[in-house]
């Protein structure tokens, strides 16, 4: 027995709703018809895809999760084939699901999306923002095709293109005693309070600088907000280390900060475009990769 793309779409809808009744309503099917479709799919594959929970919906089996990731990829390719046939290979069409690490998105996405729309007006790019771990999970599960990330603790099952490198800098209040220096050594700040951008993976990256400088910073504040860190520095609460630099030195509350290079030998962060290793690339994905390379000049 062969399975169909329709059955794969049925499985995808059930997985998203975790409920057969809700999925049936969205698909305009009766619940028995949808259950029969999934039963036939399971029979064709020779494995159980769903676990039925009495009065609590359904969940995917481990095998079902693995199969669903491949099914998403197959459905994306099927949509690509349809779009190619309709356009006779002359344009890039359809929806591209992509991700972006949340501190990168305000710096790069506006210009990148404008460029992509100019080059491929029929390509719709849907962006999911989030932390590194969440985006890598979405990539592994096939929920997004690619993501703009930092090269911190990347999953070995992902492949990626390096788009650019961003050097870290010290962030000081504009009236700080060192604000007019050309560059700053971290040890000159060892007695001053530090404000940490406290994101998973990023925190370890920043704190590693102090290990190399042989001192432990006095962390006065921790925040997951890039702009709150800048605001606290501008208010004189301490200094910080960041990689990205907004076009303006003004903070949300009207304060001002100064960005200075670090004299110490510190590692830059690479911005990468990551995607699942070994999966066939859609034309949409290839077009977006080309846009990214062009935008970053890589």
Quick: pLDDT tens for 40-51.
999 989 999 999
Above 80 in pLDDT, residue 91?
no
- pLDDT confidence of 53, banded at 50, 70, 90? confident
Above 60 in pLDDT, residue 88?
no
| Continuous segment of H or E residues that includes residue 269 | strand 269-276
- pLDDT confidence of 89, banded at 50, 70, 90? very low
Chain mean pLDDT for the chain: 92
Rounded to a whole number of angstroms, the CA Rg of the chain reads 24
Stronger pLDDT, 206 or 141, i.e. the higher one: 206
Share of the chain above pLDDT 70, in %: 96
Would you kindly state where each structural domain of the chain is located, as residue ranges? Answer: 5-67, 91-164+270-296, 168-267
Domain range 168-267, CATH class: alpha beta
- pLDDT confidence of 85, banded at 50, 70, 90? low
Top mean-pLDDT range of 89-103, 243-257, 284-298: 243-257
Above 50 in pLDDT, residue 213?
yes
Beta strands in 57-173 (DSSP E): 58-60, 94-101, 123-130, 146-150, 158-166, 169-173
Q: The domain at 91-164+270-296 falls in which architecture?
A: 3-Layer(aba) Sandwich (3.40)
SS3 173: strand
- Judge if 5-67 and 91-164+270-296 fold alike in CATH terms: no
Above 60 in pLDDT, residue 159?
yes
State whether CATH 1.10.10.10 applies to domain 5-67.
Answer: yes
Among the listed residues 213, 164, 146, the one whose alpha carbon sits nearest the alpha carbon of residue 184: 213
């Amino acid at each position: 027995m062969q399975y169909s793309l329709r059955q794969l779409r049925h499985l995808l809808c059930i997985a998203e709703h975790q409920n057969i009744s809700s999925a049936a309503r969205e698909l305009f099917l009766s619940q028995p018809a949808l259950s029969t479709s999934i039963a036939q799919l399971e029979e064709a594959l020779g494995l159980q895809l769903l676990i039925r929970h009495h009065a609590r919906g359904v969940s995917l089996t481990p095998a079902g999760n693995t199969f669903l990731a491949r099914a998403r990829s197959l459905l994306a390719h099927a949509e690509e084939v349809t779009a190619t046939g309709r356009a006779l290979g002359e344009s890039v069409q359809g929806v591209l699901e992509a991700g972006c690490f949340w501190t990168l998105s305000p710096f790069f996405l506006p210009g990148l999306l404008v460029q992509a729309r100019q080059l491929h007006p029929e390509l719709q790019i849907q962006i999911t923002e989030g932390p590194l771990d969440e985006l890598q999970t979405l990539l592994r599960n096939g929920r997004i095709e690619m993501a703009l990330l930092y090269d911190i603790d990347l999953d070995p099952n992902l492949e990626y293109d390096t788009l650019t490198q961003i050097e870290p800098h010290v962030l000081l209040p504009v009236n700080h005693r060192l604000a007019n220096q050309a560059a700053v050594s971290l040890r000159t700040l060892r007695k001053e309070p530090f404000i940490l951008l406290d994101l998973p993976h990023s925190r370890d990256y920043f704190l590693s600088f102090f290990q190399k400088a042989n001192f432990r910073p006095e962390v006065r504040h921790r925040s997951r907000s890039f702009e709150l860190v800048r605001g606290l520095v501008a208010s004189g609460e301490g200094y910080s280390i960041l990689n990205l630099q907004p076009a303006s030195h003004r903070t949300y509350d009207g304060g001002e900060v100064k960005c200075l290079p670090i004299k110490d030998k510190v590692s830059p962060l690479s911005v990468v475009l990551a995607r699942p290793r070994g999966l066939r690339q859609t034309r949409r994905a290839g077009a977006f990769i080309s846009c990214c390379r062009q935008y970053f000049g890589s």
